[in-house]
Amino acid sequence: MDAVPALDEPLKKVLGPATAKVMAEHLGLHTVGDLLHHYPRRYEERGQLTHLADLPMDEHVTVVAQVADARLHTFASSRAPRGKGQRLEVTITDGSGRLQLVFFGAGVHKPHKELLPGTRAMFAGKVSVFNRRLQLAHPAYELLRADSEEAVESWAGALIPLYPATAKLESWKIGKAIQTVLPSAQEAADPLPETLREGRGLVPLPEALLKIHRPHTKADIDRARARLKWDEAFVLQVALARRRHADAQLPAVPRRPKPDGILAAFDDRLPFTLTEGQRKVSKEIFADLATDHPMHRLLQGEVGSGKTLVALRAMLAVVDAGGQAAMLAPTEVLAQQHHRSVTEMMGELAEGGMLGGAENATKVVLLTGSMGAAARRQALLGLATGEAGIVIGTHALIEDKVQFHDLGLVVVDEQHRFGVEQRDALRGKGKQPPHLLVMTATPIPRTVAMTVFGDLETSVLDQLPAGRSPIASHVVPAADKPHFLARAWERVREEVGKGHQAYVVCPRIGDEEDGAKAKKKSPEDEAEKRPPLAVLDIAEQLARGPLAGLRVEVLHGRMQPDDKDAVMRRFAAGEADVLVATTVIEVGVNVPNATVMVIMDADRFGVSQLHQLRGRVGRGSAPGLCLLVTEMPEASAARQRLNAVASTLDGFELSRIDLEQRREGDVLGQAQSGTRSSLRMLAVIDDEEVIAEAREEATRIVAADPDLERLPALRTALDALLDEEREQYLEKG
């Protein structure tokens, strides 16, 4: 955690090369400091010593007793058909009663040698019943050499830390290694400023490390956790606060719209009024654009809340001020779709330099990797001369050849699909740093926004525009109730009969060689013994079976861009009834006439992803219907997840559920490109208050001392957190 040599000591010097190698490869632990910050996942209580006469069922107990006898039996079993199975039965007594211990298989050798009649030992395990007799199966035990009461007391009352372990390194071996390095904890430099620590009643870091690994009481654990959570929250928030502080020092060109410019003309031609939310968020964005340092704003909005319109108005404000705006989309389908909807919304205002274009019109160009050479040259020319005020594109925008006349705003759609470097490269194309607006339709709980997007100011669009319809969602248990699935296809036919359209979403394309490229199967796959349903198979089955006679089309990521666009155009024009697709339709595809979506193997998708997909229906005036088809049994966690999605349309509520089900590390997972999560103790959802308070403290400290000159231990902790990859992640935000 800091530069004190004791904590920087490589583990191979302290624990030996073999153990150190396993720790590095399987747990990502390299130094003494890393190991000290590998915290127990939970603690086992050995329980107070129990008399054999009154053992409770199904509880962990610890008993001190003497071995009365031990017998080794061999038996035949499915694993050892030739009678080679081994079972060791040990009977122990403490004067008040007797108890049977059993050990099986390879686990019999050590106790067979050690638990000889007359040996006294402590045994800890869970009491169960076998053949109407109480027993402990595979108990942990410690031989009592001397009859020392003290050893018995301390061993029995101890809280035993259980560590995140691997098959190569059991928890107790990690515990022993930590025991070896624990004295170094005294050397840990404390990153929290003393006034902050004392003001919040937090224990010093060395004490917290000792108490987390060797607690005497539950209160010790609570105090240590409270302190270590603060460390994580605070150091991360200081990193983000410094980022915000540095950004605030950068110069940018203020961009203010003209009172009678293209933005005013655009607003005049809108066939509806903006929602209260759209007005409020636009005001925040325009205030940022008018300042002389770059805007860094995250625009969160439920699917269909009108984010694209808000972003377009920001882009037009920049065009008004003589600049250019670029919108970066994650896929060609989406870039083409945005280009279509932007030019439709703008009408003659998008026909700059063309016959029939409005007088203050600009050009809106599309730039994707698969464009023909001539169209591409034309688009590049428009950007270089400044004739094109708005460009919408994919990664192709980032290439060296692309030159802007005066790039003033970058809008990034669906942030989580973009690499940090790509966004940075685009920002580097401005003469001065352009303003940045990041849009996401994945609702992010406030604390996660503060943690993952902590260097961006956040705006939230939480109202749906007038005229949007509610979406009803239902789980279809295909295995338990096959007639429900038959009814689902009837519902699709009914909607098509009314002149509407439908989506059917599958997890897989279906033309992969050798099944799904012999991918490692998840436990659920193993349980079901079948690969996820595939677009190509399902489309064929539907066209021949329950949806025969309807116009069924297919869309997936491996199709040629032109073919994908042609399919989307036909579907949007109503020339296809049913689109069987992968999640390529997850973001941005807008077909108001589509009213029903059937998601096959819905349990294979994440909660937020299901919510995103569902947002593709009910975009017009007719109500939407989303059917979540699954074969998972009622009691499974997967079914609970689907029930949660079906029960609420509140994306923020669902993202909380999603986070609670995934490990916290995943929240920062994408941000960290595979490095270990820096959040080991902090739970992003539960520790909302800690994060919010840490953010305030961090902002205050950085404002007073941006380079942390007066806080060297905090600076060191920051350097440890911000290894190369993370530094870049935060830098490029």
pLDDT per position as a tens digit, 427-476: 778 788 899 898 887 767 766 677 666 767 888 887 766 666 778 899 99
Give the helix/strand (H/E) hosting 627. Answer: strand 624-630
> Is 619 in contact with 591 (CB distance < 8 Å)?
yes
CA-CA distances (angstroms) from residue 313 to 264, 306, 319, 325, 407?
A: 9, 11, 10, 11, 16
Most distant CA pair in the chain: distance in Å? Answer: 104
What are the angstrom distances between the C-alpha of 649 and each of 28, 441, 449?
39, 13, 20
The average pLDDT across 197-219 equals 92
Per-residue DSSP letter, 519: P
Give the per-residue pLDDT at 407. 92
DSSP secondary structure string, 692-730? HHHHHHHHHHHHH-TT-TT-HHHHHHHHHH--HHHHHHH
Q: What is d(CA 94, CA 52) in angstroms, rounded to the nearest whole number? A: 7
Q: Is 591 buried (19+), middle (13-18) or exposed (0-12) by CB count in 10 A?
A: buried
Helix axes 262-269, 307-320, angle to 10 degrees: 150
pLDDT of 123 reads 82
Burial class from Cβ neighbours inside 10 Å (0-12, 13-18, 19+) for residue 354 reads exposed
Kindly report which listed range (59-73, 577-591, 657-671, 711-725) carries the lowest average pLDDT score.
657-671
Q: Encode pLDDT of 477-488 as tens digits.
A: 988 888 899 999
- The predicted-structure confidence for 350-405, as pLDDT tens digits, reads as follows 887 665 566 788 999 999 888 888 999 999 999 999 999 999 998 888 887 889 99
Q: What is the Cα–Cα distance from 126 to 493, expressed in whole angstroms?
A: 57
pLDDT band at 722 (very low <50, low <70, confident <90, very high): low
Share of the chain above pLDDT 90, in %: 29
What type of residue is 522?
Answer: S
Q: Classify 550 as helix, strand or coil.
A: coil
Would you say the pTM of this structure is higher than 0.75? no
For residue 118, is it left (φ>0), alpha (ψ between -120 and 50) or beta? Answer: left
Per-residue model confidence as pLDDT tens digits over 653-704 = 777 777 666 544 444 433 333 333 456 677 666 777 888 899 899 999 999 9
Please give the backbone phi and psi of residue 395, each rounded to the nearest 5 degrees, phi first.
Answer: -55, -20
Q: What is the average pLDDT across 33-55?
A: 76
**Span of 115-124, 656-665, 717-726 with lowest mean pLDDT:** 656-665
42, two tokens:
């939970």
Residue 272 φ then ψ, to 5°: -145, 170
Given this model, what pLDDT does residue 494 score?
Answer: 94
* Neighbouring residues of 389: CB distance < 8 A, sequence distance ≥ 6: 262, 315, 318, 319, 323, 324, 325, 352, 362, 363, 364
Q: Residues 616, 587: contact at Cβ < 8 Å? A: no
pLDDT in tens, 512-537: 544 444 444 444 444 345 677 788 88
State the average pLDDT for the chain.
Answer: 81
Packing angle of the helix pair 651-661, 637-647 (nearest 10 deg): 170
Which of 48-57, 162-171, 413-422, 690-699 shows the lowest per-residue confidence on average (mean pLDDT)?
A: 413-422
Residue 542, token pair as written in the block: 């539907």
- pLDDT at 638 > cutoff 60: yes
CA distance linking residue 374 with residue 369, whole number of Å:
13
What single DSSP character describes residue 545? T
**CB distance 405 to 428 below 8 Å:** no
- pLDDT band of residue 312 (cuts 50, 70, 90) is very high
State whether the Cα torsion 541-546-550-554 is positive or negative: negative
| Top mean-pLDDT range of 180-194, 280-294, 543-557, 642-656 | 280-294
More confident residue, 544 or 722: 544
Judge contact between 717 and 231, C-beta under 8 A.
yes
- pLDDT score of 9: 86
pLDDT at 439: 87
| pLDDT for position 154 | 59
Q: What is the C-alpha to C-alpha distance for residues 88 and 99, in angstroms, rounded to an integer?
A: 14
Give the Cβ contact number of residue 6 at 10 Å. Answer: 17
Residue 41, beta-bridge partner list: none
pLDDT at 421: 64
Res 672: pLDDT = 32
- Coil, strand or helix: which one is 7? helix
Residue-wise over 620-646: b if at least 16 C-beta within 10 A, else e?
Answer: bebebbbbbbbbbeeeeebbebbebbb
Average pLDDT over residues 218-225: 93
Q: Which of 463, 456, 487 is nearest to 474 (CA)?
A: 487
Q: Give the pLDDT of residue 671.
A: 36
Please state the rounded mean pLDDT for residues 327-347: 87
CA distances (Å), origin 108, targets 115, 138, 618, 619, 636: 10, 9, 63, 65, 35
Edge-to-edge strand ranges of the sheet holding 407-413? 363-367, 388-393, 324-328, 407-413, 435-440, 296-301, 457-461
Tell me which residue of 238, 226, 219, 164 sits closest to 197, measured CA to CA: 226
